[in-house]
Structure 1
Amino acid sequence: MNDQSHDPGASGGCPVAHGAGVTRLYGSDAERDPHGIYTVLREQHGAVAPILLEGDIPASLVLGYRENRRVLDNPLQFSRDSRIWRDWKEGRVAETSPLIQMLGWRPDCVSQDGEPHRRLRGAVTDNLLGVTGRGIRRHVTHFAHKLIDAFEDAGRADLVTDFADYLPMLVLTRVLGLAEREGRTLAESSNQILKGGADALAHNEKIMSVLGDLAARKRSEPGSDFASGLIGHSADLDEDELVNHLRLVLITGHTMTSNLLARALQLILTYPERRSELVSGQLNMSAVVEEVMWNTPPLAVLPGRFATSDLELGGCPIKEGDLLVLGLAAGNADPQIRPDTAVSVVGNQSHLAFSAGPHECPGQNLGQGIIETAVDVLLHRLHGLRLAVPPAELTSTASTWESRLDSLPVEFAA
């Protein structure tokens, strides 16, 4: 890569303030304190800041709430089609880059705008609606009890590694029509794709192989699952579209739900009064999830949008073909719209956690159903459930795209 590609001014984007170096949104500093980085960038640059992604690829990070909404609501100005991404078109992003797994073009609804997007998204939403109403809570209950059975007698567990990391994927195996035995491997591969790094490509190939086999099997042996529903949908998906939409639902459904479930459990266990209110019925789980989505959204940074022309965003010049990544966590905490983050957000659903606009996450009800049922089973199965460490000792590790709770050690009556 030549030196010019490291200069956001040479590739469009906001100029570096006061000649300071461009901030990397990956590496050890970003892993330890992403919110600290967002704060510094906001102070230096305002609502839009120049950053570097893996491989020192330049991008603009959108920090402001209103600026995030402008990008998300205007696909004519900010397209999801990465084929217009200048750094990719000009050969500065290799096909083997871990960024491709999150930003590269695919024949799925996320990579399209306009009529192609509407056709493909319709197939996804129609079938998600069907499977969400078809025994999803029964599947969650079954797998939640099965996971709890494995650690209940010990009187202690890690609710991240023993529960939240795997439950959503086990449910998704049933939803998609996969074998339960593949759940743990697929969960690990899905998490690795979000983490990025050198192994992201290999884990993606593993997932695509499993889903290719699933698609072939369901064409000859259809059932009442999501894969069969996609095959029979009037949108008439071709083979690449089919497999890539299975990938989309598998990865986003698992990673977002597992992260959100862990954070919801952290909130409940950190504040025992919340747990008491949930058990007594004074508080419903949707209010807890809403608070988590404001304060620790499962996807901290959303990839990505590409400018279709030269324009200005938040006082920052953006050039045609520039990459923008959307700071959902930063936007939710924008002091311009939320000057006091201690003020209750109950009943306020205007957070950015599920994105917004035409590409807003279509699987919200599926994730909500998994989390509500999982927490209900846990609280009623594990008596005397409490944190095994002080809340201040709980740690998180961030990648470019998300911040995940490392562990959630708990104790309970064996």
Structure 2
Amino acid sequence: MSPASAPHPVHFSGPLLQDDPAGVYRRMRRDHGSVVPVILDGDVPAWLVLGYRELHQITGDPGLFSRDSELWNQWENIPDDWPLLPMIGRRQPSILYTVGERHRERAGMLVHALEAVDPFELRGYAERFADELIDGICPRGTADIVNEFAMLLPVRVLTRLYGFSDEQGPALVTALNDMIDGRERALAGQTHLFTSMTELVTARRKEPADDVTSRMLADTSGFTDEEVVQDLMVMMAAGHQPTADWIGNSLHLMLTDKRFAASLFGGRNSVAEAMNEVLWEDTPTQNVAARWASRDTQLGGRRIRAGDMVLLGLQGANSDPQVRTDGSALTGGNSAHFSFGHGEHRCPFPAQEISEVIARTGIEVVLDRLPDIDLAVPAASLSRRPSPWLRGMSELPVTFTPTPALGGSRT
């Protein structure tokens, strides 16, 4: 059975998962099982995998479920203006679509470059930029902590780690958020980011420094400057938006769930607990595109044909009742969530650590600087962005007692 011919496929677009993703996943699992036929924008068929074991099988077998988008059996039906092309492209020179030994070499280059980031320096950057952002809002007593803080912090830290100057940071923040917004400014944002990355790589090729870009260029596997630019752009986008949503979703949980009330008065353990709960129950990266079957196969009782697209339902797998005994624990000794993926195409472990440091430091600075922070609107009125892929708050209005800015120094 192909996705298009399966009974009642789910239209996987727009606000499907905006309000009640847990309920939507339960209904899809009830009606279709662990592998769900879905229809993407433009009536394009695919499979969405919600089963924990099935997702483990897919991500652990890159030979059968390949990252090579050239295998897709729907390319002849895809128009040039298909809205998901930026996410599901073909012949893209980035690490996302590299397979086999070349992918392993490329992943090794990224891991080496990220592993060398000094953890004390990383936390220092995160704290400094977080303080600067709080300085801009603390005298007012009100703020949108998502759009005025969470959506601005990760990219500032990442640009500094990659080798950009502090002066270049704000324009790169604007460019990346314009790309994510996906509207009329998206192309201009992408152009600015690509141009800036190209200039940085050119400069570091001539004069290396102690940064991620220079370490990538020092790799001896023979990657071109264009490949390094593409990977830096992928790392920037993949590192910024999910980390921003991790901050926003964690603060939302802490401000709306009484279990975390104590953390608003200086607690630290609750910050880590809230961040971990978000990864299990409200993960920023809900679904990922994609893998493509390299031959006909069976998955979760479904017949998957060669070239079919398979979407990774990370949040669906995290909440799979077949491996969960309750809302938070897994049976069988398995305690690994899928929020960072799995297998050779997962988020590299050093990148996970960097994201966690940025998110946790940012949240701690918010709670230090705005200790009586509270929601400015009823919790029921808050909304999420209408995307089936990334889950984050559209806004998070808060109030707090106005305080003077630090002016760049903590005492």
* TM-score normalised by the chain length of structure 2: 0.89
Find the aligned partners of 2:123 and 2:258 in 1 and give their Cα distance.
25
Does the C-alpha gap of structure 1 residues 71 and 200 become closer, same or farther in structure 2, counting only changes over 3 Å?
A: farther
Q: Secondary structure at the match of 1:52?
A: strand
Q: Determine which structure has the larger helix proportion and give its number.
A: 1
**Structure 2: stretches of 5+ with no match in the other structure:** 403-411
Find the aligned partners of 1:34 and 1:197 in 2 and give their Cα distance.
25
2:341 partner letter: S
1:101 partner letter: P
| Structure 1 equivalent of residue 53 of structure 2 | 66
The match for 2:217 among 231, 238, 259 is 231
- What is the 5 A alignment of 1:146-165? 146-165=132-151
The answer to whether the 8 Å contact 1:109/1:116 transfers is: no
The answer to whether the 8 Å contact 1:99/1:196 transfers is: no
2:339 partner letter: A
| Structure 2 equivalent of residue 297 of structure 1 | 283
1:111 partnered with 2:101: no
1:16 partnered with 2:3: no
1:104 partner letter: G
Does the C-alpha gap of structure 1 residues 29 and 297 become closer, same or farther in structure 2, counting only changes over 3 Å?
A: closer
2:290 partner letter: G
- What is the 5 A alignment of 1:325-344? 325-341=311-327
Number of corresponding residues? 398
Deviation at 1:275, TM superposition (A): 4.7
| Structure 2 equivalent of residue 357 of structure 1 | 343
The answer to whether the 8 Å contact 1:132/1:366 transfers is: no
| Structure 1 equivalent of residue 35 of structure 2 | 48
1:176 partner letter: Y
Find the aligned partners of 2:366 and 2:334 in 1 and give their Cα distance.
27
The answer to whether the 8 Å contact 2:376/2:397 transfers is: yes
Deviation string, structure 1 residues 178-211 (Cα, Å, up to 9, x no partner): 2445545544554555565787556434422221
Does the C-alpha gap of structure 1 residues 198 and 116 become closer, same or farther in structure 2, counting only changes over 3 Å?
A: farther
Find the aligned partners of 1:195 and 1:327 in 2 and give their Cα distance.
22
The answer to whether the 8 Å contact 2:266/2:367 transfers is: no
Deviation at 1:82, TM superposition (A): 0.7
The match for 2:66 among 73, 79, 84 is 79
Does the C-alpha gap of structure 1 residues 198 and 315 become closer, same or farther in structure 2, counting only changes over 3 Å?
A: farther
- What is the 5 A alignment of 1:261-410? 261-277=247-263, 281=267, 283=269, 285-341=271-327, 349-362=335-348, 363-410=351-398
CA RMSD of aligned residues (A): 2.5
- What is the 5 A alignment of 1:102-181? 102-105=87-90, 106-133=92-119, 135-181=121-167
Find the aligned partners of 1:85 and 1:52 in 2 and give their Cα distance.
15
The match for 1:92 among 62, 73, 77 is 77
**Structure 1: stretches of 5+ with no match in the other structure:** 1-8
* TM-score normalised by the chain length of structure 1: 0.88
Q: Secondary structure at the match of 1:335?
A: coil
1:77 partner letter: L
Deviation at 1:34, TM superposition (A): 4.3
% identical aligned pairs: 34
2:356 partner letter: Q
Deviation at 1:95, TM superposition (A): 4.4
Q: Secondary structure at the match of 1:356?
A: coil
| Structure 2 equivalent of residue 4 of structure 1 | none
